[in-house]
Structure formats: structure tokens, C-alpha cells
Amino acid sequence: QRCLSLIKSTKFLNAYITVAEETALKQAEESEKRYRRGQPLGVLDGIPIAVKDNFNTAGIETTCASNMLKGYISPYNATVVQKLLDQGAVLLGKTNLDEFAMGSGSTDGVFGPVRNPWSYSRQYKEKSVPKSHSEDKDSNWVITGGSSGGSAAAVSSFTCFAALGSDTGGSTRNPAAHCGVVGLKPTYGLISRHGLIPLVNSMDVPGILTRCVDDAAVVLGSLAGHDPKDSTTIQDNFKLFELPNLTDVSKLSIGIPKEYHAPGLSSEILALWSKAADLFKNAGAKVIEVSLPHTRYSIVCYHVLCTAEVASNMARFDGLEYGHRSDMNKSTESMYAATRREGFNAVVRGRILSGNYFLLKQNYENYFIKAQKVRRLIANDFVKVFGSGVDILLTPTTLSDAVPYTEFIKEDNRTRSAQDDILTQAANMAGLPAINVPTALSERGLPVGLQFIGRSFQEKQLLTVAKWFEKQVKFPTIQLEEVKRHDHGVFQHQKSGNLKQISKP
């Protein structure tokens, strides 16, 4: 209930597309009863969770922030949603995103951009010097990053304890970095994609956004494992783990891939990155510079593969079985064309066009096949580095802190995505687990995060290291003054954000 009222008071953030008030209250009630009977369903029972609006939720609208699916109510739950509900989690609502998860700002959805909660924090207001147009306070708000910006904002603004995002090229880690939360992209195949409306099937993974690493581990534990409905999930049963409190990092070998010193990397983040490396070194870990030589080709190939699959995946939206259908009825073909023109925004249409171009018979070899080959090289780079004894890679998550919306929209979606995914998409190309850990505040008082990339299916090791790091950096809590006025008391309760420490309110 507190979360629901908090959602209302933070409505201006535009984090949610749909708030499932009624069903959430009902679920909370049921959970309450279970607790009274002393039979909770598990650690997640009664825990309020938000889900990105590209996961199917039975009975609750699933829009992908697109006209194409506005009003679409799915008849089934995505496997991850079902797993959460089965464990008693309370589904608060569906969070905002870029249309069909195509973007890195959460600015290109049909429901409008998501505002970064940190725009309204005391930290940001104190540090960002109001410029000439200071009277226009509202124009200073910064973006959340994307495409899971709604989920990141929801977690960051305390409206839920955890949120599901999706991560295809960085869509969970990028907004997590900008919103100062933990964003975990698990290994491809560890969590079922069934019910996640795909962007790129071969790279998509459900992402987990929480306020601390321990929470991410708990949510991961409840979602991971084989799903007969997703043939790409691993067959072996996932072993639940609890994260140990690492005290000794001396046996660890941390790799610093030099190629991640990418053009455009802000000096602030560069400094933070080397500070983090020093942190490990000083604690006794082995820190070595490593090379992933094919990294620089990664983003280009990512775009070829991404758009090709987008072109294919979007083919089903033809207005026949579901979703938007144009009134145009001259012929089936003209209906298709009008439906798709009206249903998709320019970004989606652009990616469909380029994807189809890459898949044309005369281009297939030169683009798609080549990109796939390079993808293999990129994956092999990681295999080599991990084979050489490196346990975890440490990199920045983003090139800089979040930029104001007015700044962000000066560049088109394609340019932005190419810049913003540059440090994150390689992990998707290789299918590796990666996590953003909020590290510090920038000079402007905005969160900055660093990324850890781990070995395939070695989430436990990755999260353990991330947890140790999280403990060292002591990332500050967001001071949401405006909201605090409305909801006094909630914050004391939720500050720690640790699921296991929070009993039912």
C-alpha cells in the first residue's frame, strides 16, 4: 500500500505505464494471510515488484510502449512473472521503456520519457549549478538511460523493492548505472525468456534491478533454471546460493580490458574506474590489464544482428491476430503497411528496414554472416581472457553520468544507442553475465556505476565480488526531498533495501 501511494506521488517520473492497483492489493492481502498462518511462500512473499512492460502479464496490459500493443492484454504470464507470483510477490505494475526496448534513454516510448529520480534528489540539486534558465527548474531533469528506465526509476525511487528489466545490449545495466541501482544481466540461458517480447532472441535476457547485490541474488535464485517453454535455457537445475561475505580478495584476479577505455569516456568515470581497480589491488587481489581485441567491432556487429532479428521478430505485428489494426481495407497488403506505419515509431521502423536490408539475399553474406563471425571472435576473446586465469572483468558501465533530457534528444536514437551500448553489448554478444554496481556520485550529484563481467553461469562468483565491491564503495542513498514530504517514514524503513532484512510492513 505504501508503495502504491508512493507510485502515485512519483507519477511525474513516468516510471510506470500501468499500475495494477487492484490486483496488487489483492495479492498483498493474500500474502498477509499466508504470513498470519505462518506459511509464507518464500523470501519473496509479499515483496512488491515491478515488471518492465515487455513481459507478458495475464490480465494486465502489456504494451511495449508502442501503439502497436496499446490495450493488448496477454492471456498468459511470462515464465519469470509466473515464478514471481508463485512465490507470493506482489506485482505492482508495468514499467515504462523505449518502444519495444529499442533505445538507451527510455525516451522513445509512446507514453513519454521516464524521468530520473535523481533529478529530484538533494544531491543533484545541490551540485548541479543552475544555469541561465534557472527559473525553468523542470527542464533540468535527466534521463534514466534505457531501455529499462522505468524499472530502474521504480527501484531507485523506492516504489518497489525489485524490478524486472530486459537486457539485450545493456538495457538493464545502463539505466541501473544512471539511476544508482544494481542491474544484473544473467548468463544467456539461465533465465527463461518465455513471455518476454523479444528484441533480439539470441541476446535477450531478463534483467534484475534491485537496490543491493544481495537482493539481486535472491531474485535471481527465484527466477533461474530450466524452462520447458524456452529451449535455450540450460537443462541442469540451478543451484540456489546465498552470497558469502567476502573478506579475502587476494585469490581473485581482476581483468581490466584496455579496449573499454573507449572514446568519449568521461574523465570522471575513468578516474573512478582506476580507483576501483586500486581498491582491489590494495585489498590483495591481482589486477591485470587484459585485451579483448575485437571489442571495437562489437557495436557495429551488434547493430547488424540486432536489426536483423528485429526485422524478423516484428514481422508478426501485422494487425491480424492482435494489436493495432489500421482501418485501411483496400487490400491485405495495404492494411499491413498502414498498420505497421501507424503502430511502430520511427526507431522501430528504421531498425526493421535496415534489418531486412541486411537479410536480403545479396547482402546476407556480407553483413549478417560476417557479423556472426565477428560475434564468435568477440565471444572467443572473453573465453581466452577467462582461460588465462582472470576471474572477473571490471569496466565502466556508461561513458558518462546521465544527461538532461533536453541534451539527450539532440542526437537521434541510433547515434545514442551506439554510444550508450558500447560498453555493455559485448557481454550480450558473448552471452556472459554482467552487473552494474552503483559506485559513486558524479560532480553533478548523479550516480555512476561500474560493470563486472563474469564467466558463463558463474553468477555466484560475479555477485560475490560485486557484493564485496558494493560494501567498499558505500554508494549514498538517494535523498528524494519532494517525495519525502508526502511519504514520511517510508524511507527509514526501506533505506537498506535488503530484502532479507525487511519483514512485512
Partner 1 sequence: MAAAAARGCGGVWRRAWQRGAGGPAPRGQRALACNVRAGAVPAGKSGLAPWVPVVGLEIHAQISSNSKLFSGSQVQFAAPPNSLVSFFDASLPGTLPVLNRRCVEAAVMTGLALNCSINKKSLFDRKHYFYADLPAGYQITQQRVPIAVNGSLSYSLCIDNKMSQMVTKTVRIKQIQLEQDSGKSLHDDTRSQTLVDLNRAGVGLMEVVMEPDMCCGEEAAAAVRELQLILQTLGSSQAVMAEGQLRVDANVSVHHPGEPYGVRTEVKNINSIRFLAKAVDYEIQRQIEELESGRTILNETRTFDSKLGCTVPMRDKEEKQDYRFMPEPNLPPLILYDAKSLPANMNHQQVVNIDWIHERLPDLPSVKRAKLVEQYGILPEHSFTLLNEDGLTEFFEDVIKQTQMKPKKVIGWILKDLLSYLKQYSLTVKESPVSSFLLADLLNHLEKKEISSTAAKQVFAELWKGEGKTPLEIIKEKKLQLIQDQKDLEQICQAVIDGQENEVMAIKAGNRKVLNKLIGLVQRETRGRSNPVLVKQLLEKKLSE
Stretch that binds partner 1, among 240-248, 352-360, 464-472, 490-498 (CB under 8 A): 352-360
- 209: which strand partners? 163, 183
Those residues with Cβ within 8 angstroms of residue 479's Cβ, 6 or more apart along the chain or in another chain: 121, 122, 123
Instruction: Please indicate whether residue 157 is annotated as part of the active site.
Output: no
Per CB under 8 A, does 479 bind partner 1?
Answer: no
Chain centroid to CA 21: how far?
A: 24
- Round to whole Å and give the CA distance between 261 and 421: 14
Instruction: Please indicate whether residue 384 is annotated as part of the active site.
Output: no
For residues 33 and 229, which CB has a smaller minimum distance to partner 1 in the complex? 229
Per CB under 8 A, does 101 bind partner 1?
Answer: no
- Per-residue x/- marks for partner 1, 220-249, CB under 8 A? --------xxxxx-----------------
For residues 53 and 401, which CB has a smaller minimum distance to partner 1 in the complex? 53
Backbone φ and ψ of 34, nearest 5°: -60, -40
For residues 337 and 399, which CB has a smaller minimum distance to partner 1 in the complex? 337
Q: Which of 44, 60, 69, 279 binds partner 1 (CB under 8 A)?
A: 69
- Per-residue x/- marks for partner 1, 368-407, CB under 8 A? x---------------------------------------
Tell the smallest beta-carbon distance from residue 332 to partner 1 (Å): 6
Residue the block writes with cell 565502466: 396
Per CB under 8 A, does 10 bind partner 1?
Answer: no
Per CB under 8 A, does 71 bind partner 1?
Answer: no
Tell the smallest beta-carbon distance from residue 54 to partner 1 (Å): 8
For residues 336 and 468, which CB has a smaller minimum distance to partner 1 in the complex? 336
From 176, 180, 150, 159, select the one nearest 9 (Cα to Cα). Answer: 159
Tell the smallest beta-carbon distance from residue 150 to partner 1 (Å): 18
Q: Which of 315, 346, 387, 500 binds partner 1 (CB under 8 A)?
A: 315
Tell the smallest beta-carbon distance from residue 280 to partner 1 (Å): 36
Per CB under 8 A, does 103 bind partner 1?
Answer: no
396 in Cβ contact with 451 (< 8 Å) = yes
From 221, 234, 239, 229, select the one nearest 190 (Cα to Cα). Answer: 234
Tell the smallest beta-carbon distance from residue 141 to partner 1 (Å): 31
Q: Which of 318, 342, 482, 487 binds partner 1 (CB under 8 A)?
A: 318
Tell the smallest beta-carbon distance from residue 178 to partner 1 (Å): 27
Q: What share of the chain is helix, strand, coil (3-state, %, to 5)?
A: 45, 15, 40
Per CB under 8 A, does 60 bind partner 1?
Answer: no
- 450: which strand partners? 396, 437
Q: Which of 103, 175, 198, 225 binds partner 1 (CB under 8 A)?
A: 198
Per CB under 8 A, does 365 bind partner 1?
Answer: no
For residues 335 and 490, which CB has a smaller minimum distance to partner 1 in the complex? 335
Per CB under 8 A, does 353 bind partner 1?
Answer: no
- Round to whole Å and give the CA distance between 429 and 427: 5
- Round to whole Å and give the CA distance between 317 and 101: 15
Q: Catalytic residue, from 9, 31, 52, 354: name it.
A: 52
Q: Which of 311, 347, 448, 483 binds partner 1 (CB under 8 A)?
A: 311
For residues 318 and 482, which CB has a smaller minimum distance to partner 1 in the complex? 318
- Round to whole Å and give the CA distance between 448 and 437: 9
Tell the smallest beta-carbon distance from residue 344 to partner 1 (Å): 13
203 in Cβ contact with 190 (< 8 Å) = no
DSSP string across 233-292 = S-SSPPPP---------TT-EEEEEGGGS-TT--HHHHHHHHHHHHHHHHTT-EEEEE--
Q: At CB < 8 A and 24+ separation, what contacts does 359-363 make?
A: 359/308, 359/311, 359/312
Tell the smallest beta-carbon distance from residue 70 to partner 1 (Å): 13
- 166: which strand partners? 206
Residue the block writes with cell 505462518: 38
- Round to whole Å and give the CA distance between 321 and 137: 46
- 447: which strand partners? 441
- Round to whole Å and give the CA distance between 447 and 181: 9
Stretch that binds partner 1, among 37-45, 119-127, 135-143, 306-314 (CB under 8 A): 306-314
- Round to whole Å and give the CA distance between 2 and 19: 13
How are strands ordered across the β-sheet holding 182-185? 16-19, 90-95, 48-52, 162-167, 205-210, 182-185, 434-441, 447-453, 392-396, 253-257, 286-290
Q: Which of 333, 410, 474, 488 binds partner 1 (CB under 8 A)?
A: 333
Size of the site for partner 1 (CB under 8 A): 44
Per CB under 8 A, does 361 bind partner 1?
Answer: yes
For residues 250 and 334, which CB has a smaller minimum distance to partner 1 in the complex? 334
Q: Which of 7, 28, 84, 196 binds partner 1 (CB under 8 A)?
A: 196
DSSP string across 208-242 = EEESSHHHHHHHHHHHBS-BTTBTTS-SSPPPP--
Q: Catalytic residue, from 147, 151, 157, 192: name it.
A: 147
Tell the smallest beta-carbon distance from residue 200 to partner 1 (Å): 8
Instruction: Please indicate whether residue 331 is annotated as part of the active site.
Output: no
In single-letter form, the type of residue at position 280 comes to F
For residues 199 and 277, which CB has a smaller minimum distance to partner 1 in the complex? 199
Interacting residues with partner 1 (CB under 8 A): 55-56, 62, 64, 69, 74-76, 78, 193-198, 200-202, 228-232, 308-309, 311-312, 314-318, 320-322, 332-333, 336, 356, 359-361, 364, 368
Active site residues: 52, 147, 171
